[in-house]
Structure 1
């Protein structure tokens, strides 16, 4: 089995912009991997991006070797990790300076609204859904050759423009339903659109039809200054559009305050909703984390709440210390679940955690242990239908694939073996790819401009 897989940049992009791969990111450029999605047949898709903005260069600089740029990319991989194709789209923040081309070809754009797509999901029919802030959802064909639908809403309630949003995060259940989060204006009196509603849909999302979402839970029950214009006809609670005074109660914040006698109301004020994960067809886990402070938030409250597909809060993941196991260090709020085995996983800078579907912690691998210390450099992004954990190295742009054992008691040995194999494979990949400063360049896979 292949454990290490590079996430490459297209050579055409690097050559067109004369990208200096030795240049430090502090000089105004960067590459990052945002998300990974997998198919039941073992293929993988990676959502990643690259940007450059150099001080002293004019916004309308015509020379591509000097001009600012920003691109969202989706790369498709075969089950053995071979890149099959890459789709690239100019981001609107940079396309405003050159609206008609993406290093020589036409583009429409993943990452509209001056932001970047953050989530990736393979829908039951094989279509790829790229999602991001503003409940923007872009549908892309499985072969990455065409953008087939786009849904968006203004990021601010003060903005005019088309209002046809769908979701900021999407995950699929084993039966093919969609678990989504959607945003609302007025959360904590903010004018921005912030994720607040967890919902599920029974109908498919297709290029020609947008399904109705049934609201299961809200993070904050009383966003302020709502008007009829803020109602979402496609997001329903008790058969009526969510908005105004209509949303699931008690909210997750209200539940967490009521369930913990030591909690105070302001402990969950200005909280944020993370990406939910599917534990099984009728059970989901929803990350909620408290306010982030400039001076540091380690020790601040967080919770991973278990919610049924009827909107009932049935528990939370246990066995984590607010300070010793804090996900606020490095902002590691990602959660992954394996519906086939009804397990839940979380990785932060202090440990790799595993739970059963009841919320009982079954394993904690301490990252201070030299056997697992390498995991500090990774972010957990997905759990495949086959039960493999997919992690991304934050600086080396490599995917790490870890097969989860039949018994969680063997997780430590499995991770240790995978890390050992990963180190050997990484050495072989360096000889094969000859990366520059951990930037992998591919000139073989077809390149499609969206």
Structure 2
């Protein structure tokens, strides 16, 4: 079994837009992996985006070889790493000209799936692609069709249908959905920002959207709320979340009270990350402070343990605000392995592992020569079989790292995986012949959503 997999660009897209793969991203184009999700069957799905926006080219340019473009893609892999299929969602209204050759707004996706940032395999095998505005698209497991869409305007001043679901979704071992949803008015912003951590006991299907039960809020008092801002699909104590009704104390209130050296403004303009499932009744919720333009290393951050009853159980310990700061490179992702009740985090300074109690069990220092390559990877997922999935940010390759039986062996396992990565990367280069680390695929089926 291979543990290294390429993130491919469909040859049809490259040819249609005459993409210059040698061109630098600073010239106005780019490819970025947003998320990865693994199914219990062993299949793996990658969500990524590709765009081109070049100065001097009009937004209504008719020639696809010159026109701006933006797509979201989802690729499905077999357990052995074989690319099975890729789906492409058409151009966003962010680009003035709408080219529907490779999918487009006529499919009903419009710009919404272009903004997709999260991917989750639901218990029935359906994919949920999620993003800002609590947009949720349901996609069949074979990537051939979109079966449902939920969403709402990103700004409270925009018009449009208001049928949201969630910005992030993760599944529990029993099949419940752990989600985050947004609210208007956080810190007096007009945009919809993540504020509520919630869970649902009923499945999300193309014909049924379950009610979410709020467990925690990041900020207790969004401003200027009216009855129009109530969320009837998100309940707390049986009543819709909104106005002055949401779980309290909020995460920021809890952290301010817990950290006696913290000041009230340390958590002002904080942001809520994607929660991870530690076990059926325990979740870890990332929260990080304001991002400064001049650099944010040393700012407050926390990974809070929350029960499925909304109780604050504690925090992940053993991280230094400055020495282990996730603000360098904005590495806020957390991954959890419910089968073994472990939690993982990777940033530019170390790979960390904790037990379910929040006790740090391991820290691999990325300054060590044998782990230094990890600085180029992003942690995106932990599979049901206990493999960490890492994505190389510039080589557009995914690496699966088997989790050891004992966390004391994590260092050796990671060292072996990085050594295998170098060998498998060489073999892939001979077979795929990438151009500037861009892997072009012409064999797997391409579905236009």
Tell me by how many angstroms 1:91 deviates: 3.4
Cα separation, partners in 2 of 1:325 and 1:106, compared to 1, 3 Å? closer
TM-fit CA distance, 1:109: 5.6
Task: Work out whether residues 7 and 397 of structure 2, in 8 Å CA contact, stay in contact via their aligned partners in 1.
Answer: yes
CA distance in 1, matches of 2:91, 2:98: 11
Would you say the 8 A contact 1:324–1:350 is kept in 2?
yes
1:11 aligns with 2:11: yes
Q: What is the aligned partner in structure 1 of residue 36 from structure 2?
A: 36
**What is the alpha-carbon distance in structure 1 between the residues aligned to residue 122 and residue 236 of structure 2?**
24
Q: Provide the secondary structure at the position in 1 that maps to 2:15.
A: helix
Partners of 2:414 and 2:14 in 1: how far apart? Answer: 35
CA shift digits 1:53-74 (9 cap, x unpaired): 1111111111110011000000
**Distance in 1 of aligned mates of 2:313 and 2:145:** 41
Asked whether 1:302 is paired with 2:301, we answer: yes
1:377 corresponds in structure 2 to 376
Give structure 1 regions of 4+ aligned residues with deviation exceeding 4 angstroms: 104-107
Output the CA distance in 2 between the equivalents of 1:286 and 1:65.
44
- TM superposition shift of 1:102: 3.1
Contact 2:88 2:102 in 1 (8 A): no
- CA distance in 1 between counterparts of 2:106 and 2:278 reads 37
In structure 2, the CA distance between the partners of 1:166 and 1:346, relative to structure 1 (3 Å rule), is: same
8 A contact 1:276–1:287 mirrored in 2: yes
Q: How big is the shift at 1:49?
A: 1.1
1:16 CA displacement: 0.5
Give how far 1:93 is off.
2.7
- Taking the aligned partners of 2:224 and 2:111, their CA distance within structure 1 comes to 26
User: Does the 8 Å CA contact 1:72/1:111 hold for their aligned counterparts?
Assistant: no
1:366 aligns with 2:365: yes
Query: Whole-Å Cα distance in 2 between the matches of residues 106 and 267 of structure 1?
Result: 42
CA contact (8 A) 2:89 2:113 kept: no
Name the CA distance, whole Å, in 2 between partners of 1:173 and 1:201.
10
SS in 2 for 1:93: coil
Give the TM-score taking structure 2 as reference length.
0.98
What are the within-5 Å matches in structure 2 for residues 108-147 of structure 1? 108=107, 110=109, 112-113=111-112, 116-147=115-146
**CA distance 1:146–1:96, shift in 2 (3 Å):** farther
Q: Secondary structure at the match of 2:30?
A: strand
Once the two structures are TM-superposed, the CA of residue 108 in structure 1 deviates from its matched residue by: 2.3
CA distance, structure 2, for counterparts of residue 111 and residue 183 of structure 1: 21
Which residue is equivalent to 1:201? Answer: 200
Structure 1: gaps of 5 or more residues: none
Q: CA deviation at 1:110?
A: 4.7
Quote the residue 1:66 is aligned against. Answer: 66
Give yes or no for contact 2:92–2:105 (8 Å, CA) kept in 1: no
C-alpha contact 1:231 1:243 (8 A) present in aligned 2: yes
The normalised TM-score by structure 1 is 0.98
The structural deviation recorded for 1:103 is 3.6
Cα deviation digits, residues 142-168 of structure 1 (max 9, x gap): 000000000011000000111100000
Alpha-carbon contact 2:117-2:131 (below 8 Å) kept = yes
Describe the SS at the equivalent of 1:92. coil
d(CA) in 2 for partners of 1:244 and 1:206?
A: 29
Work out whether residues 217 and 248 of structure 1, in 8 Å CA contact, stay in contact via their aligned partners in 2.
yes
Could you say which residue in structure 1 is the equivalent of 2:45?
Answer: 45
Output one character per residue of 1:68-106: Cα deviation in whole Å (capped at 9) or x when no partner.
Answer: 10000000000011110110011323565126x134788
User: Which residue pairs with 1:327 in the alignment?
Assistant: 326
Q: Distance in 1 between matches of 2:191 and 2:103?
A: 35
Aligned residue in 2 for 1:225: 224
Q: Residue in 1 aligned with 2:254?
A: 255
Q: Taking structure 1 as reference, are residues 81 and 337 closer, same or farther at Cα in structure 2, changes over 3 Å only?
A: same
| Cα shift at 1:111 | 6.6
Structure 2 CA distance for partners of 1:337 and 1:205, relative to 1, 3 Å: same
Shift of 1:201: 0.1
Residue matched to 1:165: 164
Indicate conservation of the 8 Å contact 2:434/2:440, yes or no: yes
Deviation at residue 3 of structure 1 after TM alignment = 1.7
Q: Tell me if the contact between 1:136 and 1:152 (Cα under 8 Å) persists in the aligned partners.
A: yes
2:75 maps to 1:75: yes
Contact 2:197 2:217 (C-alpha < 8 Å) held by counterparts: yes
CA RMSD, 1 decimal: 1.2
Match of 1:214 in 2: 213
Query: Matches of 1:347 and 1:374 in 2, distance apart?
Result: 12
What secondary structure does 2:93 align onto?
helix
CA distance in 2, matches of 1:114, 1:408: 38
